């Protein structure tokens, strides 16, 4: 495609309930939406999944905004024409900022695929038409409230529950959910809140028959994760640490992880995410699709990614209404029989709700070639 302009918007989307993790509480999802317009007037959409603060990773909204408007978008607009597969090379001179790169890449891919009337799912190699849907449940006021919240999601049909934990809110919370729902597929996510010194506490999670524990230690604690893996029966699944296909290969080689959470934003885009899925599939490592409280844009893209054969565990691909009363797309993801449908229309297969997009935009910038 030949790009005419790139528009970036910061959105503030209210959440239906506060989302609490070991790193903080969010009540409004601050996120960046990208629109890439071709010289033929076709719009492609992407989403930069940074949050307000650099707390999940070093990236955050206005850091992404700066690098995208100052460096990344101008580099795309300087190209005469560009194919989706060429985007990573255009971004290669700029170190890091993977979420910013991933969101811009998605907009270019979407524009190209809409031009060709081809779906994102088929472009990625998806084989399923719907994906099993798990839900990520934030830390609640107490274990009783947590059990109530989980019961609500199970009633809706979610096929796998993930609860957030942090020091002091781990064993009792997990025990409460496990004893209320003995048979459900259950996993926990620590978002880097522990150190190797907590190994004894984390080993006590073994008795709850968890599918996995997600990212107990810090992003660069690869060797410590390998040491922790020796002390746990519960499989370790890295999230924050897997920043690229290379990082995934290294973590697997060192025995730091036996399951991988793939998030396109964290690894710099969907093309790199597919590479990670491919290498895990070749190594016999289970993979699932993580989430970053995506709007309908990223949610459609995640459903397509999760439909690849390598994705053998249910992902955090929930219905839009788990987070938002109204989405910025006209046909938000819904839960049906525990599954979310994989869009099959051109590009991401969703249309933007222009009124809603406008209503939640708090900042906007357009760059032209």
The residues assigned a catalytic role are: 164, 263
Q: Which of 328, 326, 302, 296 is nearest to 316 (CA)?
A: 302
Least Cβ distance, residue 38 to ligand OSB (angstroms): 30
Interface contacts to ligand OSB, rule CB under 6 A: 56, 136, 189, 191, 239, 290-293, 316, 318
105, 239, 272, 327: residue in contact with Mg ion (rule CB under 5 A) = 239
Return the structure tokens found at 37.
């317009």
The nearer residue to ligand OSB, 114 or 299, going by C-beta atoms, is 299
What's the CA gap between 252 and 260, in Å, rounded? 9
Binding mask 57-96 for Mg ion (x = CB under 5 A): ----------------------------------------
- Contact between 219 and Mg ion per CB under 5 A: no
3-state helix, strand, coil in the chain (%, to 5): 40, 25, 40
What's the CA gap between 352 and 358, in Å, rounded? 10
Do the bridges between strand 134-137 and strand 236-238 make them parallel or antiparallel, or are there none, so unpaired? unpaired
What's the CA gap between 259 and 237, in Å, rounded? 5
- Expressed in angstroms, the distance from the first to the final Cα of the chain is 13
The nearer residue to Mg ion, 189 or 221, going by C-beta atoms, is 189
The stretch near Mg ion (CB under 5 A) out of 83-91, 127-135, 236-244, 333-341 is 236-244
* Residue nearest Mg ion (C-beta atom): 239
Four-residue CA torsion sign, 81, 85, 89, 94? positive
Residues 130 and 339 sit within 8 Å (Cβ to Cβ): yes
The nearer residue to ligand OSB, 11 or 87, going by C-beta atoms, is 11
Least Cβ distance, residue 318 to ligand OSB (angstroms): 5
Least Cβ distance, residue 316 to ligand OSB (angstroms): 4
Return the structure tokens found at 81.
């024409």
Looking at the DSSP bridge assignments, the partners of residue 163 are 137, 188
Burial of 40 (0-12, 13-18, 19+ CB in 10 A): exposed
> Which residues neighbour 171 within 8 Å (Cβ) at sequence distance 6 or greater?
201, 204, 205
What's the CA gap between 15 and 28, in Å, rounded? 5
The stretch near Mg ion (CB under 5 A) out of 68-76, 159-167, 213-221, 343-351 is 213-221
The nearer residue to ligand OSB, 37 or 299, going by C-beta atoms, is 299
30, 105, 170, 214: residue in contact with Mg ion (rule CB under 5 A) = 214
The stretch near Mg ion (CB under 5 A) out of 106-114, 211-219, 248-256, 356-364 is 211-219
The nearer residue to Mg ion, 290 or 343, going by C-beta atoms, is 290
Could you say which of Mg ion, ligand OSB, none residue 327 binds, taking C-beta under 5 to 8 angstroms by partner kind? none
Could you say which of Mg ion, ligand OSB, none residue 56 binds, taking C-beta under 5 to 8 angstroms by partner kind? ligand OSB
Binding mask 160-189 for Mg ion (x = CB under 5 A): -----------------------------x
> Which residues neighbour 355 within 8 Å (Cβ) at sequence distance 6 or greater?
none
Place of tokens 């989980």: 150
What's the CA gap between 149 and 151, in Å, rounded? 5
The nearer residue to ligand OSB, 24 or 168, going by C-beta atoms, is 24
Could you say which of ligand OSB, Mg ion, none residue 173 binds, taking C-beta under 5 to 8 angstroms by partner kind? none
> Which residues neighbour 175 within 8 Å (Cβ) at sequence distance 6 or greater?
143, 208
Least Cβ distance, residue 20 to Mg ion (angstroms): 14
The nearer residue to Mg ion, 140 or 241, going by C-beta atoms, is 241
The stretch near Mg ion (CB under 5 A) out of 144-152, 194-202, 238-246, 345-353 is 238-246
Footprint of Mg ion on this chain (CB under 5 A)? 189, 214, 239
């Amino acid at each position: 495609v030949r790009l005419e302009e790139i528009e970036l918007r910061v959105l503030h989307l209210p959440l239906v309930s506060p989302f609490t993790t070991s790193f903080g509480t969010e009540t409004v999802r601050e996120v960046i939406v990208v629109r890439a317009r071709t010289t033929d007037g076709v719009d492609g959409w992407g989403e930069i999944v940074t949050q307000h603060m650099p707390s999940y990773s070093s990236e955050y909204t206005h850091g992404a905004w700066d690098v995208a408007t100052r460096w990344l978008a101008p580099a795309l607009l300087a190209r005469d024409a560009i194919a989706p597969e060429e985007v990573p090379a255009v971004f290669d001179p700029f170190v890091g900022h993977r979420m910013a790169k991933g969101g811009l890449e998605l907009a270019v891919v979407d524009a190209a695929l809409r031009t060709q009337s081809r779906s994102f799912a088929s472009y990625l190699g998806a084989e399923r038409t719907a994906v099993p849907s798990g839900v990520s449940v934030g830390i609640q006021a107490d274990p009783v409230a947590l059990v109530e919240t989980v019961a609500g999601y199970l009633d809706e049909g979610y096929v796998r529950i993930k609860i957030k934990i942090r020091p002091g809110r781990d064993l009792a919370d997990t025990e409460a959910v496990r004893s209320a729902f003995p048979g459900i597929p259950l996993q926990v996510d620590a978002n880097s809140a522990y150190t190797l010194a907590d190994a004894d506490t984390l080993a006590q999670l073994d008795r709850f028959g968890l599918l996995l524990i997600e990212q107990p230690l810090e992003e660069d604690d690869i060797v410590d994760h390998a040491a922790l893996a020796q002390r746990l029966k519960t499989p370790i699944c890295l999230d924050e640490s897997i920043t690229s296909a290379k990082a995934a290969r290294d973590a697997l080689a060192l025995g730091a992880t036996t399951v991988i959470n793939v998030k396109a934003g964290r690894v710099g885009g969907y093309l790199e995410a597919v590479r990670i899925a491919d290498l895990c599939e070749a190594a016999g490592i289970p993979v699932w699709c993580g989430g970053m409280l995506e709007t309908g844009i990223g949610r459609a893209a995640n459903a397509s990614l999760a439909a690849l054969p390598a994705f053998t565990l249910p992902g955090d691909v929930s219905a839009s209404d788990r987070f938002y009363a109204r989405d910025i797309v006209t046909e938000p993801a819904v839960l049906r029989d525990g599954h979310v449908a994989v869009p099959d229309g051109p590009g991401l297969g969703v249309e933007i709700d222009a009124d809603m997009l406008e209503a939640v935009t708090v900042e906007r910038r357009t760059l032209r070639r």
